[in-house]
Structure 1
Amino acid sequence: MKGRFHKGDNKWLYINQQMRDDCLAILALQETYLNATQATSLNDTFTDMLHVITSIDPNHPTAKGIVIALNKHLVKTCEVKTHDIIPGRALLITMPWYQQEELNILNMYAPNDPSTYDERTVMTPSDNQCFWEMIHNKIINLPQPDVMLGDFNIVEDSIDRIPAHLDHANAVSALRALKSHLNSQDGWHQTNPSDLTFTYSQSTRQGGLTSKIDSMFAHFGMIPFCKEWSIDPPTIHTDHEMVSVWGISTPY
């Protein structure tokens, strides 16, 4: 998201409109720089439409930050429970869903490390690797996420980057261990096994790299009930695409 404003325009006006027009029930955002006071202000401004839940790193309030925005027209917001797992980096919510069921959503903004490595170099744990290991350890005694999504700042396969290259092997292993623990699968890849689509593009000035570092994983029991996986440009100014899915239910 890269903050609330672009050239003086408040991005939350466009977020509110897109959630209303496209009937988005839940929207997970990263790099939001939104503190609790600002979130309260947004909830007061969009009181009939949005319920905004924020997580910010108090030591770095103008960096990082994640938000889960709920559409009051489509979901209940009065009984939502939150777990601020890593402030500004990982936020878990439990919310009422279909009938008497609950839905657990984990929104994450993983650290960005240098992604290539030389096997001759002594390997030390990267910030990205430590992030996945910390999440794995902290969620053991929490509601297990049905959906985990966000900006992972890592890809599991070299084909998901242009130019193609491997990411830090230990970080990839840590992410896969978390996915295995949660029985999570990438529904978009399952639905589009032969498609090559990217979610992040650098400008030519930045180097022109592209990658699929934004992902959404769902519990394997939910995958058959998730329809219309898509990667599309959002309405706000950003260098990331939006991953979306319709019709999540939890029958398992």
Structure 2
Amino acid sequence: MKTTSRKRLLISSVAMLLVAMLALGTATFAWFTQDTRSYADKINVRTSKVSSLVLSKSDRTNWQSHIEYDVDRIMFPASSSNGSKWFYANASDALSGAVDNASIKDAQAPGTTTADYVFINELNIKNAGAVKVTDVKIKFNLQGENSDYARVALVPIGVDGSATTTDGTFGTGTVYGKKATPYQPISSLAGDLGASITPSTTYEVSVPDLDVDKAAYYALYVWFEGQDVDCKDANSGQKIPNLVFDVEGTPVEE
């Protein structure tokens, strides 16, 4: 009789251990439930020039010393491994944020279908002066309250608009967050995970030297990363109220 009781106790203990391991594993995938929103309210993305540098957005024609993106929206969590395809899902557990794999949806970017999940534009820099500009840098400035799971990415792109990133390498050296906690973004419709990405908290990107009338082009992404462990109901409602980029460079003296 004692042997039977011990067996039952052992089986119960093993079962509880498996449940605990499962909960620990799923807790690494953090998503809000469907009716919970993440606020990207009153985002003001601005850039300012130093020396002879001028800037443009995705139109690539209206070069100015100061540009504004005029972003004011509420965005739900999303995930992408390369910026070309975005995914969103519902949480199966509001406390842990465990993702409901059956709810994962595919959203192509850019376009109106992704407006509630990611802001996409460009930040382009051109040398409009008479001499070469070196030591060009794009510096981030997050003012006021900002989210633990917010992400900002500047990805170098070709003049023709073709991205230089590949699946699993999105954000290598260009994804920024408040904390540098690794996460694995969703990379396919089936819910597969891409290579682990560790966000940088060093808010600066070095730009190649710019000869006269030459430009450097960057795709700009702003989103809330669903695969971040802090992206769950308990932490909803966080904001990125004021995101500023300062572009600096040094003219080469003749």
Q: TM-score, normalised by structure 2?
A: 0.24
Q: Larger RCO: Structure 1 or Structure 2 (Cα < 8 Å, ≥ 6 residues apart)? A: 2
Q: TM-score, normalised by structure 1?
A: 0.25
Greater CA radius of gyration, 1 or 2? Answer: 2
